Amino acid sequence: MEFARVSSTGFLIIIFATLTITGCAANTGIVKISDDTYMIGKQGGWESSGSVVKVELYKEGNQFCSNIGKKFVPLSSQSDDQGLGKHATAEIQFKCQ
């Protein structure tokens, strides 16, 4: 079996593209922190605003509560915008009542 040769520049481009695609966003998923209280956090990918990430979390929390037949009630939230060497992030806590 013969493999194609890739130049060092081509190799670096492949590595960079792979890291960019796989390292863009991280989501904790919804975590139960007490009887009816939940939290969710997310690190954005291309978003530069923490508020954009927070909106996605509100949508996810709302859908979660709706799926269990309850109403989404936000409790607290925080967000940080993208900066040098860091992605935009957000976290919310909510209840389903």
Which residue ranges make up each domain of the chain? Answer: 25-96
Q: What is the pLDDT of residues 29-66, one digit of tens each?
A: 999 999 989 999 999 988 889 999 999 999 999 999 99
Residue 35, both tokens:
């009887």
Identify the three-state secondary structure at position 16. helix
Q: Which amino acid is at 74?
A: P
* Neighbour-count burial for 72-94, b at 16+ CB within 10 Å, e otherwise: beeeebebbbbeeeebbbbbbbb
Q: What is the pLDDT of residues 1-24, one digit of tens each?
A: 555 565 666 544 544 444 443 345
pTM of the model: 0.71
